[in-house]
Amino acid sequence: MGPPVTGKSHLATALAVEAVKAGKSVAFATLADIVTTLAKAEREGTLRERLRFLARASLLVVDEIGYLPVVPGGGNLFFQLVNARYEKAR
């Protein structure tokens, strides 16, 4: 987190590239895109599967946190994703 135009996305991309080079799986998306995808999955009854899919990646890069508004309930959906990744890592 930090002010605009300080290289956060560039650094995150570089870390993701290095993770891929090391043989790790990486998912990279904006917070707004992740929450929108999770909200759609919730409406369609496939939220559990979508959470499992996003929890499988060795590295999840969430870009543009705080820059774009998210759908109502998005904070809860994002928490569920973070929790799913935490539980998988334990």
Q: Is the dihedral of CA 44, 48, 49, 54 positive or negative?
A: positive
For residue 77, what pLDDT is reported?
97
Taking the mean position of all CA atoms in its chain, how far away is CA 1?
15
User: Does the reported pTM lie above 0.85?
Assistant: yes
User: Average pLDDT of each block of 10 consecutive residues along the chain (90 residues)?
Assistant: 86 97 97 96 98 96 87 94 92
In the structure encoding, which two tokens stand for residue 74, read together? 């998005």
- Which one-letter amino acid corresponds to residue 41? A
Which domains does the chain possess? 8-89 (3.40.50.300)
Q: Which residues contact 84 (CB under 8 A, 6 or more apart)?
A: 51, 52, 54, 55
